[in-house]
Structure 1
Amino acid sequence: EKFNADNPDITVNVEILPWGGRREAMLTAYAGGEAPDIAYVNIDTMSLFGTNGVLMPLQDMIPQEVWDDMSGNLTDGLTWEGDRLMYPAFIYFYGRLYNKGLFAECGLDVDAPPATWDDMRTYGAAAAAKEYFLTNLSTIAWDTEMISSLWQAGGRLFNEDFTKVQLDTEAAFDSWSFEADMFKNNWVPREGAVGSEAEAGGATATDYWITGKQLLSHADTALITTNTKTQAPEIDFGLSPTLQHKRQVVLTTGACWGVFKDRPAIDPVAKWLLWLIGPEPQGFYGSVTNNIPGRLAAMSYWEADETIRAFGELHLPYGELNGDATHFWQEGKVICAPYRQAAALGLSSVEEALAGAQAEFQAELDDYNAKQS
């Protein structure tokens, strides 16, 4: 309504797509000449849309000062082959809460949540001694576990020109070993060791955090704070910091706006996009979704729950987004999940699991690059 009041000559039609299959549906619509002008495109669409060349570069449509105003270090991750294809509607990262009551029961300092991988191992042993879990992990999770963990170990998934997968590195060994140790020591529920989305969907749905059997929540967005207040108001929780090993870093991702190519009239599309990413609309959207606005200028319009704001302020300084997350997100997690599962369950060594994932993922990347050339 606010946009229409300022732009009465432009009509905005909104269509809601089911989440499952949304990427493919938009790609099919583009091929048929019926693509939307602007779409809500999360970063997991970058490889598919970038490969098919369906999104319009935004570096000239969006002023540089607006790019400079983005929350977090995101530009590299929103870029495909030199073009900036997306701008965040809001951003989020995954952090954990900790149960102060269980910390006290386990003899841990209630004001000192784990800050390093070594802390996680120490606290995991303390939790197991009381027959609790430390946290939970999923071997299909890409952003919450795989990417952030690899970065914390000092690694990168791809080399700079995206010609090589780098799972044959010390950093990859360290991060996969850390994950496998969590499962082997029963510091996390074994049902999280899954090899596919189908297995993940069929896993036991017990939430050990909400039932008071887990010291740390699963890694989640800021919504874990308000969800915990609603579902388990008896839990006295605190915020756990961004974990550190060789680096203190967390993958920052986002819900973004993208513009499809070949629009019949670009001026109204540009007006609508620039309005959507304006400070006030961004602040409003962050308020209603309980996520962090994509622009710093929107913070004064952001009406967030106190704990959600604290969660955002805690992790934002360590947030990062680059091509590791935006290139081959879906392909990578599907390829790596069965190998991570095998390492977690002791069905293969970490070295064997990494070698298998490296070979399969590299073949996928080589095939992509061959087609591009």
Structure 2
Amino acid sequence: MMKKNSILILLIILGTLLAACNSDDEATATDGEVSGEITVWVHPYTSDAEAESAMWDEIVASYEEKFDATVTIETIPWGNRDQKILTALAANNGPDVFYAIPDQMPQYADEGMLLELDPYLEDNNMDDFVDSALVSTKWQGKSYGLPILQEAYTLFYNVDVIKAIGKDPENLPSTWSEFEEWAKAAKEEGYYAYSYQGGGSMNGTLYPFLWQAGGKVITQDDEVMINNAEGVEAFKFINKMYEKGWIPEDSITAMNHDAIWNAGEMLAVQGSGISLTNLQESGLNFVIAPPLKNKEQATYGTTGMFVVPSNTDNPNAAAEFVKTVTNAENQRKFNTVTQYIPTRKSAKDIFDDQKYLKQLAQYTQYALPGVIHPQGRNIMPMIQAEVQTMMEGKKTPQEAADAAAEAIKGEIDK
């Protein structure tokens, strides 16, 4: 993985170059022709390269049938993608369209690296997109991408454990207080209630509880909110789960609790569409519940999007490709192959005959993509360290939240 400073240096260099290039000639949408050639960088989204290649052929054909333009699809590996993209754009030989994830977009947009798409979207039926899918495409009120896929993480419950603790698998917990009742019952019967993977991403640990409590980490205007009353409530809830023994002893640093779940010793784990294969292979009988709610009903789910660099030589053709690849027809093609959830409401019918994915597709409306801020990736380890210190008993929830807030302020003030 690249060091943070390397990414920052590349961002600064590229931002300066792009500012110089665009200062006298802002790229704007026009009614001009869509022609020429564009290059699109994608990633391997599955292990089936042949199926993906056929998928891209169909998507490109749908674009080239409509426009007098030629598209070249290039697949680049996930590893070191930041460095490859930034280096190519800085040398002005990068793609005209590329795939981005939520913690990349605000970094790039903040440095002036991305083309604003709003002027191109008047005819794009934006109301068909799930509202939560558009959160990660916007920075400072402007749209810099269009989403093609989403996930929605929620709780998967072991039916045998539910019955063993005297609860009803047809009436699953929907609130924190209801979950606490189930957690107490699980503990009394010798089960863990939940898998808290404290060594993993904040997106799967603190953040969902913080959002459910009605809190935020930081706003796009740099207001740090992690230590307000709502944020502290989330810290307290996690600390309570650990102190009560509702989560395993190694939860401070654990990356997974697969062995405990597979042994039938855990009530619930967090999962998504990409977890289904492993969960089904475990042989356990499970049911899926909607995301929990405290003040808000919320969960984590990444969003994948396509964006256009601001130094593209063909902004019209690039913007139209982004619109084409994310239309309902092509989202059906893409997500049928990749098994992610479409971000267009009208494309979700691809999962109508798949019990679990159809259910999970209903929950993307509650799925937030993480912290949309240029420092979103960098502040995660700081927050994680404070949550871990709290769980070790060295700080109170308020002290841990305050320390996290100070660390975040220090990072954004650099």
TM-score per shorter chain, which class? 0.7 to 0.9
The answer for the alignment partner of 1:318 in structure 2 is 366
Q: Quote the Cα distance in structure 2 between the aligned partners of 1:317 and 1:264.
A: 36
Give the number of the structure whose alpha-carbon radius of gyration is greater. Answer: 2
Q: Quote the Cα distance in structure 1 between the aligned partners of 2:353 and 2:321.
A: 25
AA matched with 1:2:
E
The answer for the alignment partner of 2:274 in structure 1 is 223
Indicate whether 1:356 and 2:403 are aligned.
yes
For the 8 Å contact 1:72–1:316, the answer to whether it is kept is no
For the 8 Å contact 2:145–2:305, the answer to whether it is kept is yes
Report the aligned-residue RMSD: 2.4
- SS of the residue corresponding to residue 255 of structure 1 reads strand
For the 8 Å contact 2:273–2:357, the answer to whether it is kept is yes
For the 8 Å contact 1:242–1:250, the answer to whether it is kept is yes
From 58, 66, 85, give the equivalent of 1:2. Answer: 58
For residues 275-305 of structure 1, give each alpha carbon's deviation from its aligned partner in whole angstroms, at most 9, with x where no partner exists: 2112111012222222211112323455662
For the 8 Å contact 1:147–1:251, the answer to whether it is kept is yes
For the 8 Å contact 1:137–1:145, the answer to whether it is kept is yes
- Structure 1 portions without partners, runs of 5+: 195-199, 368-373
Tell me the CA shift for residue 125 of structure 1. 2.0
- SS of the residue corresponding to residue 305 of structure 2 reads strand
Q: TM-score, normalised by structure 1?
A: 0.86
For residues 57-104 of structure 1, give each alpha carbon's deviation from its aligned partner in whole angstroms, at most 9, with x where no partner exists: 111223354322112334343211232111111111211111111111
- SS of the residue corresponding to residue 103 of structure 2 reads helix
- Structure 2 portions without partners, runs of 5+: 1-56
The answer for the alignment partner of 2:44 in structure 1 is none
The answer for the alignment partner of 1:146 in structure 2 is 206
Please identify, of 278-287 and 292-301, the stretch whose mean Cα deviation from structure 2 is larger. 292-301
For the structure 1 residues 67 and 248, does the alpha-carbon distance in structure 2 shift closer, same or farther, using more than 3 Å as the test?
A: same
Indicate whether 1:232 and 2:282 are aligned.
yes
Tell me the CA shift for residue 205 of structure 1. 6.2
Once the two structures are superposed, the pairs formed by residues 1-373 of structure 1 within 5 Å of their partners are 1-6=57-62, 7=64, 10-63=69-122, 65-139=124-198, 140-159=200-219, 162-194=221-253, 206-217=258-269, 219-229=270-280, 231-233=281-283, 235-301=284-350, 305-313=354-362, 315-320=363-368, 324-367=371-414
For the structure 1 residues 118 and 20, does the alpha-carbon distance in structure 2 shift closer, same or farther, using more than 3 Å as the test?
A: farther
Tell me the CA shift for residue 45 of structure 1. 0.7
Q: Quote the Cα distance in structure 2 between the aligned partners of 1:172 and 1:107.
A: 33
Tell me the CA shift for residue 252 of structure 1. 4.3
AA matched with 1:307:
Y
Tell me the CA shift for residue 11 of structure 1. 3.9
- SS of the residue corresponding to residue 118 of structure 2 reads coil
AA matched with 1:54:
M
For the 8 Å contact 2:110–2:374, the answer to whether it is kept is no
For the 8 Å contact 2:154–2:271, the answer to whether it is kept is yes
- SS of the residue corresponding to residue 306 of structure 2 reads strand
Q: TM-score, normalised by structure 2?
A: 0.78
Tell me the CA shift for residue 346 of structure 1. 1.5
AA matched with 1:360:
A
Q: Quote the Cα distance in structure 2 between the aligned partners of 1:177 and 1:117.
A: 12
For the 8 Å contact 1:127–1:133, the answer to whether it is kept is yes
Tell me the CA shift for residue 189 of structure 1. 2.3
For residues 171-216 of structure 1, give each alpha carbon's deviation from its aligned partner in whole angstroms, at most 9, with x where no partner exists: 111101111222222222233313xxxxx6xx57644223322111
For the structure 1 residues 178 and 327, does the alpha-carbon distance in structure 2 shift closer, same or farther, using more than 3 Å as the test?
A: farther
Tell me the CA shift for residue 3 of structure 1. 4.3
- SS of the residue corresponding to residue 73 of structure 1 reads helix
Tell me the CA shift for residue 347 of structure 1. 2.5
Q: Quote the Cα distance in structure 2 between the aligned partners of 1:177 and 1:135.
A: 16
